[in-house]
Structure 1
Amino acid sequence: MGCPLVSIIVPVYNAERFLNETLNSIKSQTYNNLEVLVINDSSSDNSVEIIEKFVKSDFRFRYFYNTTNQGVSHSTNVGLSQCKGEYITFHDHDDVMLPSKISSCVEILENNTELDGVITIAEYISEDGSPLGTKTALPDYITNNPFFVRAFERSYIPTWAMFMRRDIINKLEFDDNIKIGNQDADFFLRLLYRRPQLYYLSNPQNRFRQVSKSLSKKSTSTCEIYKKHNDVDIAKLYTQAGYSKVVIDYALAKANLWRENIESALNYIISAHERISEFDEEEKDNVYFIYATCLYLNQLFEPCLEILQKIEGKSFRAETLNNQGVCWAIFGDLTKARDYFESALSILPEYIDPKNNLFALNASESMPVRHFTKFPLRSVYKTI
C-alpha cells in the first residue's frame, strides 16, 4: 500500500472546550502522511491559542483565519481550496477521530481503485464524553449507486462520515448561503449526481459529540435544501440507477413533502399507492406512512386515519400511534386521543410529539393538538 497525502479539513468556531481533544485525536492517527487544515471562523474564545499550539508543534497542521464570521460552509470551502491531498475528509471541531480511521480508509481505497470513497459511522458521546451508543450499522460492503440514490427519500451522509478521493469532489463546494446546519445534506445530495462508488465501513471511526449548543442544532431548513433539486433531475437520477416508475413516484412524493409542496406530494404518493403491490412488506409501510402524512396535510383526516391503521410495521409503531391520536383529537374523541399518545410514549418515552400533544390536552381541551410526525423517526438505509 502506498502512503498518499490525506487532507483533513476542520472548521472551527468557538470550540475551546473540546478543541484540544479534537486536534489531539487527529495528531494521534496511526497514519502519518497528513495535512490538517484548521479554519478559524473568527472565534471570540481561546480557540486561536489552541490551534497555534498545534501549528507550532506539528508541521502537518495548517492554520487559516476568517477575519469575519462566515459560517461553516465558507470555512470548509477555504479548506477545499487550499488542500493538497489525494484523499480528503472532514472533521467537526468537537468530535474525536479514532486512531486508525485514516489508515483504515486509505487501505480500502488503495486496494480498490474502482471506489470513490469510504463512508464511516460513529460512536455517539455526550458533552462529557460518556457513551450514548453507536449509529445503526450494516455489514461492510461496496455500495451500488441505487443504494445511495435513495438518500433523496431517507436521509443523507454527514460530512464527518465521508472519506473521499479528491477527483470525485473536485470543484464541488459547500453552499456559502448555508451558514449553519444542513450543509452536509446539501453537499451530499449534490454529490449523488456524480454517481460515486462508495464503501460502507461498519466499524466506528469517530466519536460524535452531542452538544446542547452545537451548530447542527440550528439548521437551515430541510425545505430550503430540497428546493434545489427539481423533480426532473431526481427522476433522471433514479432512472439512471435502474429504479421503476413506482419507486420514482414514491421518491418524488417525499422530496415534495420536504419542499412543502403538499399537493404535488399527494399526487405522487397516490400514484405510488396505486401500485403498492410492487413494494416489499417493509416498504409498503413506508408508502402508507407518507400517504397518511400527505392526506393529513391536505386536511383529509378520515382517509388519513384509515391509512395509518393499515401500517403493521414495528419499526415506527410509536409514530403511527401518535398520528392516530392526532386524528382522533381532530374528530373530538379526546379520550381515545389520549390513549394513543400514551401508547406512543410507552414505546418511545422521550418522543417529543406525543409529549406535546398530551400537554395540549392537559392544558385545555380547546387547545389544538397538531404535533403530527411527518416522517418515520427511525427509518434506516437498507439495500433494495
Structure 2
Amino acid sequence: MKFSILIAHYNNAALFKDCYHSLLKQTYRDWEAVILDDASTEQEKEEIQSIIRGDKRFKFFENEKNSGVGVTKSKLIELATGEICGFVDPDDAILPTAIESAVHLFKQKKNAVLTYSRFMICDKNLNPIAPFKSSKQVQNRNPYFFNYPIQIAHFVTFRKDIYEQTEKMNPELKIAEDQDLYLKMYEQGNIYFINDTNYLYRTHDGGISQNNNKEKSYDYFAQVVFKAMKRRNLKMINGKKIPEKYSSDKEIFALLEYQNGILYRIKKKISITLQKIFR
C-alpha cells in the first residue's frame, strides 16, 4: 500500500530540512513525497531541490503562478500516485511511526476512509510546548457533525480513491481547505482516531495560521460548514432553520452552539462508546 506525502511549499525552504529528515526516518518504507511549489522565489525553489536531490522518492512540481493553498493542495492530490495520502506542511514534521500507524489502520479497517491522530504544538525550533488535547474519536455517520469544536486534526490521512468520489477540495479556499476535505471525506464512510502524537506543529511568524489571514479563518470555516449543511440537505439544526444563503460566520456558528453544551456532549460520548463496541 503506497503512501503519498503531500507538501504544499511556498518560501519555506529554511524550515523544510526538519520535515525532510522526519520523512527519511519513517519506519514504513513504501512512500513518495510530492512537493508542489506555489511560485516561490528561484532561490527558495533551488534550495528545496538541493535538499531532495538524489532521492527518487521526492518529486518536485511547480505552479506557473502563485495560486494559493486551495489550488495547490487540490493539485497535490491529483499528482499523488499512492493509495493513501496525507498532507505535511513544509515547516512541520511527523514522528517516525506516523505513516506506519495510519497504513496499519487502513489495512485493518476496510471501511476506513480517513484517519487522524494527535499533534504536538512546538516552538520555532520544533521543541514541544503542549499537546493538542481536543483530538478524539468522533461519532461516525452523524449528519450534524461539522468538526466544531475541532477534533479532527493532524496527522490526517485518507484514501485517494474515495476522495475522487467526492466534490473534491474547493480550490477557491485560502484557509479551512483542510476542514473542507475532512467534512467531504466524513460523508463517504468511517473515520478513525489514532491515539498517538504523530505530528509536530511548528508555531512561527511565517506560518499561514499565524499570519494576518487568521482574521478570516472563521469566515472560511463557516462557509465550509454551510456548504456541508447544503450537501447533506439539512433544513433545520437543533430546532433552528438553516439559512438559504450564507451571510456571516456568526450566523452559522450560532447554529452549532448547542454542541458545546453538557447534555449534548454526554449523549455524544455515549454514542461514540457504543460505536466502538459494535463497529
**If the length of structure 1 is used for normalisation, what is the TM-score?**
0.59
1:150 counterpart = 2:145? yes
Q: Which whole-Å CA distance do the structure 1 matches of 2:184 and 2:135 have between them?
A: 24
Cα gap change, 1:118/1:383 in structure 2, threshold over 3 Å: closer, same or farther? farther
Cα gap change, 1:284/1:157 in structure 2, threshold over 3 Å: closer, same or farther? closer
Cα gap change, 1:165/1:64 in structure 2, threshold over 3 Å: closer, same or farther? same
Alpha-carbon deviations, 1:102-129, whole Å to 9, x = none? 1111111112212122111111101022
Q: Which whole-Å CA distance do the structure 2 matches of 1:280 and 1:216 have between them?
A: 24
Which residue is equivalent to 1:17? Answer: 14
Q: Which whole-Å CA distance do the structure 1 matches of 2:47 and 2:139 have between them?
A: 39
Q: SS state of the match for residue 121, structure 1?
A: strand
| Greater per-residue strand proportion | 2
Which residue is equivalent to 1:198? Answer: 191
Deviation at residue 156 of structure 1 after TM alignment: 6.0
1:69 is matched by which residue type in structure 2? Answer: N
CA RMSD of aligned residues (A): 3.6
Structure 1 spans left out of the alignment, 5+ residues: 240-244, 273-278, 287-380
1:208 is matched by which residue type in structure 2? Answer: Y
Greater RCO (CA < 8 Å, at least 6 residues apart): 2
| Greater per-residue helix proportion | 1
Which residue is equivalent to 1:189? Answer: 183
1:164 counterpart = 2:158? yes
Deviation at residue 42 of structure 1 after TM alignment: 1.2
Cα gap change, 1:234/1:153 in structure 2, threshold over 3 Å: closer, same or farther? farther
1:99 aligned to which of 74, 92, 96: 96
2:239 is matched by which residue type in structure 1? Answer: D
Cα gap change, 1:232/1:81 in structure 2, threshold over 3 Å: closer, same or farther? closer
1:150 is matched by which residue type in structure 2? Answer: F
Cα gap change, 1:164/1:260 in structure 2, threshold over 3 Å: closer, same or farther? same
Alpha-carbon deviations, 1:42-74, whole Å to 9, x = none? 112743233213442211100001132111121
C-alpha contact 2:13 2:48 (8 A) present in aligned 1: no
1:261 aligned to which of 244, 251, 261: 251
1:57 is matched by which residue type in structure 2? Answer: G
Q: Which whole-Å CA distance do the structure 1 matches of 2:270 and 2:46 have between them?
A: 46
Q: Which whole-Å CA distance do the structure 2 matches of 1:173 and 1:230 have between them?
A: 13
- Percent identity reads 19
C-alpha contact 2:135 2:152 (8 A) present in aligned 1: no
1:82 aligned to which of 74, 79, 82: 79
Alpha-carbon deviations, 1:70-120, whole Å to 9, x = none? 111211122111111111111111101111111111111112212122111
1:163 is matched by which residue type in structure 2? Answer: T
The count of aligned residue pairs is 264
Moved more, 120-129 or 149-158: 149-158
1:53 is matched by which residue type in structure 2? Answer: S
Q: Which whole-Å CA distance do the structure 2 matches of 1:100 and 1:142 have between them?
A: 23
Structure 2 spans left out of the alignment, 5+ residues: 272-279
Rg comparison, structure with higher value: 1
Q: Which whole-Å CA distance do the structure 2 matches of 1:231 and 1:103 have between them?
A: 31
Q: Which whole-Å CA distance do the structure 2 matches of 1:76 and 1:123 have between them?
A: 23
